[in-house]
Chains A and B, each alone.
Chain A
Amino acid sequence: MDRRKSLKALAVGTISAGVFVEACKNGKDKNALVSKDTDAGGKKFGYDRQPEEIERYNEVTAKTFFTGHELATITVIGDIIIPRDEVSGSASDAKVPEFIEFIVKDMPQHQVPMRGGLRWIDMQCFKRFEKSFVDCSEEQRITMIDEIAWPKKAKPEMAAGVSFFNLIRNLTATGFYTSEIGVKDIGYMGNRPNQWKGVPPEVLQQYNLAYDERELNETVKFD
């Protein structure tokens, strides 16, 4: 067959011309086609990963993005946003700075706004207090944060700081409420095998709702 000749020609120089098999017809191809273990990263990650994802993870984590000073600033601001309270710990207790370091490498669109915002806040502090943000007293830090934490009442010249604080508030909150401490704090009670028996009766009562006959009789029941 001419066609097969031309295919063979293509293969020369890579492995060998002898690898062509008619797979299902003669079943000789088994060795050539053993699939890679797709769960290669399973042990390291604890969940299913593709080789490309493992490569991406290794690439991202091989680099360090924030300087020590930047990370210290993120930590201080993070704990101002999410401090320890009577319910749960702080952002740094939940390792939020480590999350932010990872996520800006994984989502490069955050890199310039974060780095620039950290620089912006330091420059503001130098002008006001002749110190970087982390070197300021607690009182000075809060004075600075109060200038940028309230979008509606912030002065127009603070707009860049407001944008930065909105971003770091978002990343800190997301990092915190997706941590073990944060999920417990927010009260998410799922992600475990259970039986869905419907809305608890006292909640139905609170909202003055009730299941109708069909919803009671025709839905799934458990022993």
Chain B
Amino acid sequence: MAAYILAKEGLKVCLIEAGPMYDPKKNVTQLKNPWESPRRGASTRFRPFGDFDASYWGWQIDGEPYTHKDNTKWDWWRTRMIGGRTNHWGRISLRFGPKDFKRRSIDGLGDDWPITYEDVKPYYDKVDRLIGIFGSIEGLDNEPDGIFLPPPKPRLHELMIKKAATTAGVKVIPSRLSILTTALKDNQDRGSCFFCSQCNRGCTVYADFSSSSVLVNPAIKTGNVDVLTNAMAREVLTDTNGLATGVSYVNKEDMQEYQVMGRTVIVAASACESARLLLNSKSARHPNGLANDSNVVGKYLHDSTGAAMGGILPQLFDRKRYNEDGVGGLHVYSPWWMDNKKLDFPRGYHIEYWGGMGQPAYGFGFGMENLNGKYLVKGKQKEAGGYGKSLKEDYRYFYGAGVGMAGRGEAIAYESNYCEIDPTIVDKYGIPVLRFHVKWSQHEINQAKHMKETFKEIMHNMGAIVTWGDNGPEDDYGLEDPGKIIHEAGTVRMGSDRKKSSLNKWSQAHDCKNLFVVDGAQFVSQADKNITWTILALSMRASEHIVSEMKQQNL
């Protein structure tokens, strides 16, 4: 986003990317059939979300380790390609609400942001118009409406979920995804959605949002952007006054060191990678790393909470076949609907739903012996397991009856949850790596418990049978390990007190005025809203500020 805004303003930009060039129009996995993959779409370490997923790399990268302290857990997702993880994400694009910027004032935990919803609203509006998002006007107090394209109609299981959840007191509304259900006004470069449900593979007609297709391509077209790919940033360079002068990086193709010089350095390498870069940028003026006079870089690391439950809907056994792919992801969701004052945990969560007749992939049909002896098949009681023509009938009978839901909740950003430089380990480029120390608190565990109770009620109301995810206290109610939801944030946070924050309210380093951090690292807290839309809004806001400061000769 920053490269796009600055290049459009006529500034010369150099975009440094650790992975290769990527364009979903050229690097195609969309509309491939499962049999075109020798592993039938199964995941690999190169593509942990499946063989057709757009993301290059994920939980582990060859030659680029990370470590953990005190047996804690943190799963770190890294995508190495132009556009990064925006190439495979869920396109769920939620605005933070007014309360989400001042949680400390509400519950005394964490900190308030130095900005309010009113400060960010104009940028959310601009992002909506520039990129496109569908949704519905609901008028909810902490789920601000945007400038929406029309949403798709719910699928069959989503209608059943809506009925069941509403009975349980859980609101279900159209999802809000950055997918063009209709053409985007004044945009000739992007087509509209053709409903293949495969946004995570990247869209050949650019009907969904990824930075690669929607921002980087038009930025390059301005002629103002040089893109350096396979360039692994080592450190931000500074002069004797402590101001940023450029970036030093390794060119992965010839393994040589290079430097790029510029007036301003903008960091957006993903929250933890940005923190790593700053911590590795030590100098006489910044002995603690850059933007780190406060010693908070790496701290307050937090991810969304996640817990899920799955089952089957007997009323969908032997269902009629039709194409229900729809858009890539859910057509309906449930925003947080309760008042935390009445609960034993302080922050909310939203619910995402799935189910239906999806494209078969590796894993399809596994565990039939747990199904076909339990439920009548076409009115007949069968013995579990088996083989032959009768078994083929069972696969057909149970296809498309699956249903599931997952909560995505807000965790508290604690100073004691952090990433830091591991003093003893370097990656294959000789760059010191990150060591993580993150633990959930009882707040998050209680929230997961509440998720599971809610899911069970919804499942029960629609007559579904829970087949997995009915966890109890023995495993923290199925609360995913931190990092797993891939919404890391908080490591280079903004704040008005420069002793407790790295950045000011313009995403600008307190201790280095020509350094900006515009990814999730700058977040004070992350609500229960997937963070991409807010990253885009804040990045746009910071970029416009840079332009204005440059015009006034302040930068």
Interface residues of A (CB under 8 A from B): 3-4, 7, 10-11, 14-15, 19-25, 27, 29, 32-33, 35-36, 38-39, 42, 45-48, 50, 52-53, 56-57, 61, 80-83, 85, 87-88, 99, 102-103, 106-107, 145, 149-153, 162, 165-166, 169-170, 173-180, 182-183, 185-200, 202-204, 206-207, 209, 211, 214-215, 218-221
Contacts and interface: CB of A to CB of B under 8 A. Distances in A.
B365 A207 contact: no
A48 B33 CA distance: 13
Contacts of B182: 220
B443 interface: no
Given A22-B246, A191-B196, A219-B150, A39 B27 contact: yes
Contacts of A56: 44, 46
A199 B21 contact: no
Interface residues of B, number: 106
A190 B30 CA distance: 12
B68 interface: no
Given A173-B366, A196-B195, A190 B324 contact: yes
B387 A145 contact: yes
A199 B31 CA distance: 22
Contact of A215 (B56, B153, B255, B262): B153
A21 B39 contact: no
Contacts of B154: 198-199, 211, 215
B151 A219 contact: yes
B357 A190 contact: yes
B14 A24 contact: yes
Contact of A106 (B42, B56, B231): B42
A174 B366 contact: yes
B159 A209 contact: yes
Contacts of B153: 196-199, 211, 215, 219-220
11 contacts: A19-B256, A24-B261, A29-B258, A35-B253, A36-B230, A102-B39, A103-B42, A106-B42, A152-B383, A153-B383, A193-B31
B364 A174 contact: yes
B351 to A, nearest CB: 19
Given A36-B230, A82-B392, A219-B153, 6 more contacts: A22-B260, A47-B52, A48-B28, A149-B386, A196-B195, A196-B325
B251 A32 contact: yes
Interface stretch (B314-322, B333-341, B447-455, B466-474): B314-322
Nearest to B38: A102
A177 B195 CA distance: 22
B359 A52 contact: no
B499 interface: no
B197 interface: yes
Contacts of A149: 385-387
Nearest to A16: B256
B39 A193 contact: no
Contacts of A24: 12-14, 226, 260-262
Contacts of B417: none
A103 B151 CA distance: 39
Contact of A179 (B35, B62, B387, B396): B35
B151 A220 contact: yes
A150 B260 contact: no
B33 A183 contact: yes
Contacts of B391: 81-82, 169, 173
Contacts of A185: 392, 396
Contact of B28 (A47, A53, A169): A47
Most buried by B among A47, A107, A206: A47
A27 B392 CA distance: 63
Nearest to B205: A193
B36 A46 contact: yes
B357 to A, nearest CB: 6
B427 interface: no
Nearest to B158: A199
A63 to B, nearest CB: 14
B343 interface: no
Most buried by B among A35, A36, A106, A145: A35
A194 B134 CA distance: 18
Nearest to B159: A209
What 7 A-B pairs come out closest when comparing CB atoms?
A173-B365, A24-B14, A198-B153, A193-B194, A190-B325, A187-B321, A178-B34
Nearest to A152: B384
Contacts of A198: 153-154
A188 B359 contact: yes
Interface string B96-120: 0000000000000000000000000
B358 to A, nearest CB: 8
A106 B391 CA distance: 27
B32 A206 contact: no
Interface in B350-403: 357-369, 373, 383-389, 391-392, 395-396, 399
